[in-house]
Structure 1
Amino acid sequence: MDLHDFDDSELYFEHPLDPEAQALIEAASSYYGEAAAEAERCLLRAHLIAPRHLSVLVALYRFYYYQHRYDEALRVAEHALETAGAALHLHGDWRSLTVSAIAAAGARSMNMLRFYLLALKGSGFLCLRMDRRAEAAERLGMVTAFDPGDRLGARFLLLMAQGVDRLPHTT
């Protein structure tokens, strides 16, 4: 399974979004630099309107990440994982993923599966930023287990989480 294969399913940002929520996301971007509190209010209002829409969750995640509010960004990433997981019929926690469940999810939507694994990678990166290395390694290890070709680029982050000082030399 190549995680760079695109299928005919919509990408997360192509799913129709309530116009009011879209307007709030756009308003948030105009407030971002000078009025972060107002930007956050807009994003939280958009989240109230469309709490399971991935465009809203991505916007909220990015806001918290760029504000260096990693705990909040991690909560949003976990909500995005749950939302994408439900769409893929991945039941339970990401820790319980199996090869057969991932294969079935890829058959449903490779685009959504890629989003799911990238959200898991992002949550691992956040754990790494918060110096929660064991948790980061667990999350990133799961991504690399299902992406042996490292198409999503989690391997380097996993090595960092594991405390590897240098990348292994490959020839």
Structure 2
Amino acid sequence: MLDSNQFSWFQVPDDVKNLLILAAQTWENTSESEKYIHQALAKAGDNTEILVSAYRFFYYKNNYPLALQTAIKVLDKIKEVEKFPDDWEQLQPILVKRLEEPRIRLYLNAYAASGMVLANLGEIEQAKEISIRVKQIDEDNNFGAAILWDILTRPPDEDD
């Protein structure tokens, strides 16, 4: 049995930590582990750490619609707190200027993740647009957008 004190760096209430631990322990039983994730989300509301945990859970369980929904919640939460503009042309310079701030990095991670999920859902053009946008900000490819772009635009092998 895991002890929630092992995760003291994870700043969420113990009851929520315990639900996440139960989700991990019941990973092989998707319906049961998903039940714990939903309970953690219900208790934690829009806690960013829980949303990120839920995103990862849904992504690795191949539940792309819920992974996308969760990534968008992260984006919306940060957008609201930071009072980001809706227009990308106005937002991009803000992200570039503040790239090293943890909340901005989380925003870009969630945005790049949404592109990856969209690609998995067959929304290739949206995924390409997101990967281009993140690539323009992230010259070091910290968020994986260049890799996603490469995968989405790579010509099929001639041997196929």
Establish whether TM, by shorter chain, passes 0.5: yes
Shift of 1:119: 0.9
Q: Secondary structure at the match of 1:85?
A: helix
1:21 aligns with 2:12: no
CA RMSD of aligned residues (A): 2.4
Structure 1: 4+ residue segments shifted above 3 A: 92-97, 103-106
Structure-2 residue corresponding to 1:144: 135
What do the CA deviations read for 1:111-170 (whole angstroms, capped 9, x no partner)? 221111111111101111122110101111111111133233311211322x2328xxxx
1:52 aligns with 2:51: no
Output the CA distance in 2 between the equivalents of 1:120 and 1:94: 15
Output the CA distance in 1 between the equivalents of 2:11 and 2:142: 28
Structure-1 residue corresponding to 2:70: 76
Instruction: Select the residue among 88, 103, 106 that pairs with 1:112.
Output: 103
Amino acid at match of 1:165: P
Q: Is the 8 A contact 1:118 1:152 kept in 2?
A: yes
- More moved, 142-151 vs 40-49: 142-151
Output the CA distance in 1 between the equivalents of 2:89 and 2:25: 40
Amino acid at match of 1:71: P
Output the CA distance in 2 between the equivalents of 1:150 and 1:39: 32
- How does 1:95-110 map onto structure 2 within 5 Å? 95=88, 97-103=90-96, 105-106=98-99, 110=101
Amino acid at match of 1:120: Y
Shift of 1:21: 1.1
Amino acid at match of 1:151: N
Amino acid at match of 2:130: R
Structure-2 residue corresponding to 1:165: 155
Change (3 A) 1:16 1:97: farther
Output the CA distance in 2 between the equivalents of 1:76 and 1:117: 14
* RCO higher in structure (CA 8 A, sep ≥6): 1
Q: Which runs of 5+ in 1 are unaligned?
A: 1-12, 167-171
Instruction: Select the residue among 123, 127, 130 that pairs with 2:118.
Output: 127
Structure-2 residue corresponding to 1:8: none
Q: Secondary structure at the match of 2:144?
A: coil
Q: Is the 8 A contact 1:90 1:105 kept in 2?
A: no
Output the CA distance in 2 between the equivalents of 1:128 and 1:44: 24
- Structure (1/2) with the larger helix percentage: 2
Give the TM-score normalised by structure 2. Answer: 0.80
How many residues in Structure 1 have an aligned counterpart in Structure 2?
149
Q: Is the 8 A contact 2:96 2:137 kept in 1?
A: no
Q: Which runs of 5+ in 2 are unaligned?
A: 1-7
